Amino acid sequence: MGLLNKMLTAIRGGAREVGENIVDANGIRIFEQEINDAETELEKGKRDLTSVVAKEMEAKRNVANLTDEIVKHEKYAKDALDQKNEELALEVAQKIAELTSQLGIQVKAEESFKNHAAKLKDLIKKTQKSLASMKRELVMVKTTDSVQKATTAITSNYASSNSKLLSAKESLDRIQKRQQDLDDRLVAGGELYDEFEGKDLEAKLKDAGIVENDNSAQDILERLRSNKTGE
């Protein structure tokens, strides 16, 4: 976390002046170059690994072939001895000795390529890990840089537009007041709507004779009369 730490220390160092770069552009370039180098190294490591593994496989094949050959020749030697052909048996034995010494070389080669491949694999894993962490760090550094630059732009935009930077509470109060006004308007609007609609409807219902007309004198008398008879 070298670069990121440096950057955070710089930010912690105090208020930044407008236009001042939080991250040294040169520092980023050097870091990007280091990442490129690590990537090249990684590619080379992978190619090396391929060729070492190929050589290991070849040695392994040689070991198998030589072992087969030796087994075969041991059988020839036995056959020659069975036929009491000492001269031929000796010749075959010499061949076996030669094959055995070749086998020894190939076994050693296989072992050595195997170790080499294991070491390369470890190295590649290590490089991949550190490469990933370098890339992550670069992203963090670049993002911080970009956010700092954005902040500078936003701040100077405020300054140039002459608008007063409100405190959070002032903003909240304004927005909530506007929302309250809107709510009030909606409620008032709703009441008016009901009123108009209601009146309209009542009038229509009266016209249709569904709702009775205003009490007439006749109706009142009628009601009073019926009340009396009921007593």
- List of residues 6+ apart from 121 with CB closer than 8 A: 49
Q: Which amino acid appears at position 200 of this protein?
A: D
51 vs 179, which CB is nearer to other proteins?
179
Please report whether residue 164 would count as binding other proteins according to CB under 8 A. no
| Residues of span 133-152 touching other proteins by CB under 8 A | 139, 142-143, 146-152
Please report whether residue 57 would count as binding other proteins according to CB under 8 A. no
Please report whether residue 180 would count as binding other proteins according to CB under 8 A. no
Please tell me what DSSP assigns to residue 18.
T
- The binding track of 75-104 with respect to other proteins, each residue x by CB under 8 A or -, is ------------------------------
Please report whether residue 167 would count as binding other proteins according to CB under 8 A. yes
Please report whether residue 25 would count as binding other proteins according to CB under 8 A. no
Which tokens in the block code for residue 94? 């010499």
Please report whether residue 186 would count as binding other proteins according to CB under 8 A. no
DSSP three-state, residue 146:
helix
Please report whether residue 172 would count as binding other proteins according to CB under 8 A. yes
Return the ∠ at Cα 126 (arms to 123 and 132), rounded to 5°. 140
Please report whether residue 174 would count as binding other proteins according to CB under 8 A. yes
Please report whether residue 157 would count as binding other proteins according to CB under 8 A. yes
Count CA atoms within 13 Å of residue 144 on its CB side.
Answer: 22
The Cα 26–Cα 152 span in angstroms is 20
CB 11 within 8 A of CB 22: yes
Binding-site ranges for other proteins (CB under 8 A): 11, 15-16, 139, 142-143, 146-154, 156-157, 166-172, 174-176, 178-179, 182
